[in-house]
Structure 1
Amino acid sequence: MSRIGFIGLGIMGSPMSAHLVAAGHRVTGFDLNEDALAKLTAAGGTAAASARDAVEGAEVVITMLPDHPHVEEVVLGTVLDGVARGTLLIDMSTIRPETSLAVAEEGAKRGVRVLDAPVSGGETGAKQATLSIMVGGEEGDFAAARPILDTLGKTVVHVGPHGSGQVVKAANQLMVGGIYALVAEAIVLLEASGVDAKAGLDVLAGGLAANRILDLKRDTMIAREFRPGFRIDLHHKDMGIALAAARQVDVALPVTGLIAQLIASGRAQGYGSLDHSALLKVVENLSGRP
């Protein structure tokens, strides 16, 4: 069992840290939210007063932060100064590939092993420990991290060198956004045509159009329940990462561009704090069916 410092105890990080505690690891966590710290303590972990305190003496450090500026501030500004050589740093945030590369480069200078390991599966996947985890970094470091990652996810894959995990996550997010938009359009079409949307989507979920979003979200979308599991604000950030990654390698992603605009529209319409399934509201508004 490992001594783990866990920074970022939000919607995703809170259940993930609890799984690590349940698996027998000694987890010391930090978050700016006092309620998040209380949840970790209730789960059997230890609350730290600061990020530096959380990582002191840790063999493994996990970060789960909202965006690249937070990772740069916390990891480059605090964590790498507070850990020993040989520490394994697993950044599970969804950020720009270039930030992951910068963290890995700085870690190498200090003898810290670094992996970028963003996840897919949302709040449900975090709670059920069924996340898909896409990992970039050295093969040996991935092997060392594998027992910990297996505690958090069902699909854990080493996808390539540093930064590769973030590229795969960008591909994941563009696909998720596209599927949400298409499910939204299907609901609007079915309802406007006088067809029972639940019956229609039940049929679609059993055919070639089947997908995880239909499996997990069709009932809540039809009911217009958009409690955030993954907020539109965050998906907007992720689509920016996907488009920037495409520009860096000179490829055109025209459908991704359109989906990014729909998500940006949702944010502009005040839906940023809602679940990304609230793309349904954007499509309804475009059709004059709010």
Structure 2
Amino acid sequence: MNADAPVGVIGLGLMGTAVAARLIEAGHQVVGFDVDRSRCDALAAMEGNSAGSVRAVAKRCPTIVIAVYNAAQVETVLDQLEQADGGLRPLIICTTTCAPDEIIAIAAHAARAGFGFVEAPVSGTSAEAREGSATALVAGEAHAIEAATPVLTILCPKRLPVGRIGDASRTKLAINLILQINRTALAEGIAFAERLGLDPPAFLEAARQSAAYSSVMNTKGAKMLKRDFTPQSHIAQSVKDSELILREAKARDLHLPMTSVQMALLRAAIALEGPDSDSAAIIAAIDRARVKL
């Protein structure tokens, strides 16, 4: 990678904005695009460069990070990159969480188009990605990973190689299953402690020092105590990931009872707080105690 070449970022939501910020702070030019023009304006305010289309990003950037919502959007981005003038064939780093079969099809699409491709979903919230404490799960051909390493090192100093294309998504979904259940358990524990009459901050600190400790206590504990649902990660994304998890489990004749219960709570929380609220909003569903499971 040419150190002076701009890096493209397509999708400027919470994760894409965190990606752009890290690149800018590391001294890279960033050219970004999002269908929501207000997000492009926000990038410009961060001293990034806003592009008018996916193709405009491709014209300037030999490496492009895709941080859109789902696999269908990634496919649309690849279609548009193929239509870019000049026959440019960028290296793609895809951070979007997809089902394994989806990312395998996306990688095949990229190969047909002549693009380099690295699967790199991020384990962690946008706030963790912004501060550099999130972990990238990296899969792909060795030569593509090597070419992407300078950018990946900036985005996620913590990286785990997990094998072939599809394995990063498999790993991410299995991690998310545990993470989401830990988050739900924390919400239920806080609500229970409050009803018992315990001091909530003191209880959270005791939990942090106990055998029940999980890192979600650091990322979501204070937000749950304050019922602060300003998003670091959208709860709608948690639902999307849980749907992928349950679909993959069903295809393998595996019932996931805890994930199924957790999904019902997520949907109840969205009904109460909206899809763009933080994933900590799951405590709102527990507060109401009206969910029928």
- Could you tell me the TM-score, scaled by structure 2's length? 0.90
Supply the AA of the counterpart residue of 1:93.
Answer: T
Structure 1 residue 132, shift from structure 2 partner: 1.0
For residue 93 of structure 1, what is the aligned residue in structure 2?
96
| Candidates 246, 249, 259, aligned match of 2:252 | 249
Matched, 1:202 2:226: no
Structure 1 residue 58, shift from structure 2 partner: 2.1
Aligned-partner SS, 2:83: helix
| Residues 123-142 of structure 1 mapped to structure 2, 5 A cutoff | 123-142=126-145
Structure 1 residue 212, shift from structure 2 partner: 1.3
What CA distance in whole angstroms lies between the structure 1 residues aligned with 2:290 and 2:186? 15
Structure 1 residue 245, shift from structure 2 partner: 1.9
What CA distance in whole angstroms lies between the structure 2 residues aligned with 1:187 and 1:262? 15
Structure 1 residue 8, shift from structure 2 partner: 0.7
Q: Matched residues, percent identical?
A: 28
What CA distance in whole angstroms lies between the structure 2 residues aligned with 1:137 and 1:162? 5
Supply the AA of the counterpart residue of 2:82.
Answer: L
Task: State how many pairs are aligned.
Answer: 287
| Residues 52-131 of structure 1 mapped to structure 2, 5 A cutoff | 52-75=55-78, 77-82=79-84, 84=87, 87-131=90-134
Supply the AA of the counterpart residue of 1:54.
Answer: V
Structure 1 residue 47, shift from structure 2 partner: 1.1
Aligned-partner SS, 1:18: helix
What CA distance in whole angstroms lies between the structure 1 residues aligned with 2:110 and 2:88? 9
| Candidates 270, 275, 279, aligned match of 1:276 | 279
Supply the AA of the counterpart residue of 2:64.
Answer: V
What CA distance in whole angstroms lies between the structure 1 residues aligned with 2:87 and 2:120? 21
Structure 1 residue 135, shift from structure 2 partner: 1.6
For residue 188 of structure 1, what is the aligned residue in structure 2?
191
| Candidates 226, 237, 244, aligned match of 2:229 | 226
Aligned-partner SS, 1:56: helix
Structure 1 residue 182, shift from structure 2 partner: 0.6
What CA distance in whole angstroms lies between the structure 1 residues aligned with 2:19 and 2:99? 22
Matched, 1:267 2:270: yes
Structure 1 residue 192, shift from structure 2 partner: 1.2
Identify the range of structure 1 (265-274 vs 65-74) with the bigger mean alpha-carbon deviation. 265-274
What CA distance in whole angstroms lies between the structure 2 residues aligned with 1:14 and 1:260? 27
Segments of structure 1 that go 5 or more residues without pairing to the other structure are none
Equivalent residues of 2:33, 2:54 under 8 A apart:
yes
- 1:110-165 per-residue CA deviation (whole Å, 9 max, x = no partner) reads 32111221112212113212221112211232222122111111321121111221
What CA distance in whole angstroms lies between the structure 2 residues aligned with 1:8 and 1:18? 13
What CA distance in whole angstroms lies between the structure 2 residues aligned with 1:152 and 1:44? 17
Structure 1 residue 287, shift from structure 2 partner: 6.5
- 1:69-99 per-residue CA deviation (whole Å, 9 max, x = no partner) reads 2112222x21233385663111111222222
What CA distance in whole angstroms lies between the structure 1 residues aligned with 2:101 and 2:190? 38
Q: CA RMSD in A?
A: 2.0
Equivalent residues of 2:97, 2:241 under 8 A apart:
yes
Over 3 Å counting, the alpha-carbon distance change for 1:268 and 1:38 in structure 2 is: closer
Matched, 1:12 2:32: no
Structure 1 residue 270, shift from structure 2 partner: 4.6
For residue 172 of structure 2, what is the aligned residue in structure 1?
169
Segments of structure 2 that go 5 or more residues without pairing to the other structure are none
Aligned-partner SS, 1:136: strand
Equivalent residues of 2:18, 2:127 under 8 A apart:
no
What CA distance in whole angstroms lies between the structure 1 residues aligned with 2:63 and 2:101? 22
Aligned-partner SS, 1:29: strand
For residue 26 of structure 1, what is the aligned residue in structure 2?
29
- Could you tell me the TM-score, scaled by structure 1's length? 0.91
Supply the AA of the counterpart residue of 1:234.
Answer: Q
For residue 161 of structure 2, what is the aligned residue in structure 1?
158
